[in-house]
Homo-oligomer: A and B are copies of this chain.
Amino acid sequence: MGQLGLKIEKLGDGKVTARLPYNPGLIRPGGTIAGPWQMALADYAMYALVLSGIGRVELAVTINLNINFLRKPGPADIIGEGRMIKLGRRLAVSEVTLYSEGDPDPVAHVTGTYSIPPEKPA
C-alpha cells in the first residue's frame, strides 16, 4: 500500500490518527474517493494501533473488517480517527471513523478484528 502515501500522525493511549493524502488518481467516476482506499486507510490505522498495543514486532493479522459507508468524500485528504476497543491476549478489536478533511460529518465507520500471534517462548 506504500504508493498510497498513508501516514500515521498520532499514536498513543489506545488512539490513532492517520491520513490518506489526496491525489487525483484516487478519484473514481462521480468525483469521489473509492471505497477500497478508505478501507486501506482504516486497516492501516487499526494495524498501527494493534502493533503499538502489543509492543512487539511480530505480525498481527486482520481477520474481520466491517465498514459502513456514510457519505461520498470529495477531493480532499481523508483522516482516520481510531481507538482500541479491546486489546486481548489473542485478539484485538478497534474502530476508526473516517472524515474528509475540513468536514465534521464522517464519511465512513469501520470496525476491525486482529489476531495476535502467540508470544514465542524465550
Determine if B93 and A68 form an interchain contact, defined as CB atoms under 8 angstroms apart: yes
Which B residues touch A69, using CB under 8 A?
61-65
Which B residues touch A72, using CB under 8 A?
61
Pick the interface stretch among A8-16, A48-56, A74-82, A107-115.
Answer: A107-115
Minimum distance in angstroms from A6 CB to a CB of chain B:
10
Which B residues touch A85, using CB under 8 A?
68, 70, 97, 106, 109
Copies of this chain present: 4
Which B residues touch A101, using CB under 8 A?
none
Which B residues touch A93, using CB under 8 A?
68, 70, 109
Which B residues touch A68, using CB under 8 A?
63-64, 85-86, 93, 111, 113
Cβ-based interface call for A122 (8 A): no
Q: Could you list some 14 contacts between A and B, CB below 8 A? A: A35-B62, A36-B39, A63-B113, A64-B67, A64-B69, A65-B67, A66-B66, A66-B111, A68-B111, A70-B88, A85-B109, A86-B105, A91-B115, A93-B109
